[in-house]
């Protein structure tokens, strides 16, 4: 995770960003702190990346890389405003001693990659359409040695995979069908017949931008309907308020890079 102490909406690179809407940075830090404390309270270790001035979106730490079994496939951001974040993530992962594979193709880390370790032997789900380019899917497969399933995103509001789909345990996912092309919806139905399906209201509340440890699902507090569906499916929803960070087009998952080592 990376503190939002430099967070601001100074440019608009997704439909959620409005440069005329003021950001309360102090409140953003408080909300982020509560998210971090929630994860620690659930028994998870949280590593911190040092925020850098001039990179207001660094708080969205999930976008900097994608890690599977100790190997890290680095990010290469689509927009120049975020390009310099990649080097900070690279330095962090190398300092930990993990194997780092530098990307040649445009990709935004866990923004567009999700890992479901026990689904069909271990699958990487990969989004494309707005940020990550399709050739990055093949590059990730070579880098990480896991089969990659390409899914096409068709709604600019759901510009990253992680605002439309999330793994909720080692073999299942939750997603909003309307974010995907008809063919990608058919693929998801085939791969995950027991998936939890979210509706438009859940998706617009950033409910799918969540993290789960297989039992506890930490999600945006506005996504009350989705929390109910997850509870009915046997999970424990843990709501958190992230209203300020939503102004940049992100929520729980965007703030958390999962270290699968």
Q: What is the pLDDT of residues 186-227, one digit of tens each?
A: 999 999 999 999 999 999 999 999 999 999 999 999 999 999
- Predicted local distance difference test score (pLDDT) of residue 13: 83
- Predicted local distance difference test score (pLDDT) of residue 135: 98
- Between the alpha carbon of residue 4 and those of residues 53, 156, 166, the distances in Å are 10, 24, 23
Residue 65 in this model has a pLDDT that exceeds 90: yes
Residue 179 in this model has a pLDDT that exceeds 90: yes
- Mean of pLDDT values over 149-173: 98
Residue 19 CA, chain-centre distance (Å), reads: 23
> Residue 255 region, left (φ>0) first, then alpha (ψ -120 to 50), else beta?
alpha
Residue 17 in this model has a pLDDT that exceeds 90: yes
Which residues carry out catalysis?
A: 160, 254
- Predicted local distance difference test score (pLDDT) of residue 88: 97
Integer Cα distance of 154 and 173 in angstroms: 19
pLDDT band at 229 (very low <50, low <70, confident <90, very high): very high
- Mean of pLDDT values over 77-82: 97
Q: pLDDT averaged over the chain?
A: 97
Overall pTM surpassing 0.75 (yes/no): yes
- Predicted local distance difference test score (pLDDT) of residue 32: 98
Residue 97 buriedness (CB in 10 A; 0-12 / 13-18 / 19+)? exposed
Tokens of 172: 């299942």
Domains assigned to the chain: 25-255 (3.75.10.10)
pLDDT band at 108 (very low <50, low <70, confident <90, very high): very high
Tokens of 39: 């994860």
């Amino acid at each position: 995770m990376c503190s939002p102490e430099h967070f601001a909406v100074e440019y608009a690179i997704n439909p959620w960003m409005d440069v005329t809407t003021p950001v309360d940075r102090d409140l953003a830090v408080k909300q982020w702190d509560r998210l971090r404390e929630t994860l620690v309270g659930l028994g998870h270790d949280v590593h911190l990346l040092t925020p850098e001035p001039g990179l207001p979106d660094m708080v969205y730490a999930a976008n900097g890389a994608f890690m599977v079994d100790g190997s890290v496939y680095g990010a290469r951001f689509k927009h120049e405003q975020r390009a310099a974040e990649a080097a900070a993530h690279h330095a962090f992962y190398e300092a930990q001693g993990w194997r780092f594979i530098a990307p040649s193709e445009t990709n935004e880390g866990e923004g567009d990659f999700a890992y479901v370790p026990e689904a069909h032997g271990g699958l990487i789900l990969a989004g494309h359409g707005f940020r990550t380019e399709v050739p990055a899917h093949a590059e990730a497969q070579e880098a990480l040695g896991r089969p990659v399933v390409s899914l096409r995103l068709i709604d600019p509001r759901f510009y990253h995979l992680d605002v439309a789909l999330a793994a909720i345990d080692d073999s299942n996912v939750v997603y909003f069908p309307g974010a995907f092309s008809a063919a990608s919806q058919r693929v998801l139905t085939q791969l995950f017949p027991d998936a939890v399906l979210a509706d438009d209201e859940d998706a617009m509340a950033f409910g799918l931008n969540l993290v789960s440890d297989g039992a506890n699902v930490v999600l945006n507090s506005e996504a009350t309907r989705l929390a109910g569906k997850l509870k009915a499916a046997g999970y424990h929803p843990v709501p958190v308020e992230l209203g300020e960070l939503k102004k940049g087009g992100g929520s729980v998952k965007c703030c958390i890079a999962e270290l699968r080592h």
